[in-house]
Amino acid sequence: MITFHDPRGDVAAQTLAYTLSHDLTANQGAGTTVALLANGFPDSVNFLEAIGQSLSAKYPALTLKYWNKGNASIPAPQSMLDEIKAHCHIAIAAYGH
């Protein structure tokens, strides 16, 4: 007989449920602005533009705004994060490949 063992160890930290959400299906995204933040890796802008095209095709009333922090080795500047938070309902951050 074969016995399978789960190789994962016990988790020491309590798991916190992710509770943030936003319904894009209402009015095909009307009234919703999505931030697309590229982190400066090669093709990160191209990748997010493709994501934006897909989102626009599915939710034509959606508003998209693009940011690029320009340098993959640093955190996004607080001023950029504040601007995204002030103007957008959803943020998608991605890096290139």
- pTM of structure: 0.79
For 5-64, the pLDDT digits (tens) are 888 888 888 888 989 899 988 888 999 999 999 998 888 999 999 999 999 999 999 999
What is residue 68's predicted lDDT score, i.e. its pLDDT?
94
Give the per-residue SS3 of 21-72: CCCCCHHHHCCCEEEEEECCCCCHHHHHHHHHHHHHHHCCCCEEEEEECCCC
Q: Which residue has the higher pLDDT, 97 or 28?
A: 28
Which residue type, as a one-letter code, is found at position 13?
A
For 72-92, the pLDDT digits (tens) are 899 999 999 999 999 999 999
pLDDT over threshold 70, residue 97: no
Residue ranges per domain, the chain?
29-71
Which region holds residue 71: left if phi is over 0, alpha if psi is between -120 and 50, else beta?
beta
The C-alpha atoms of residue 27 and residue 97 are separated, in whole angstroms, by 34
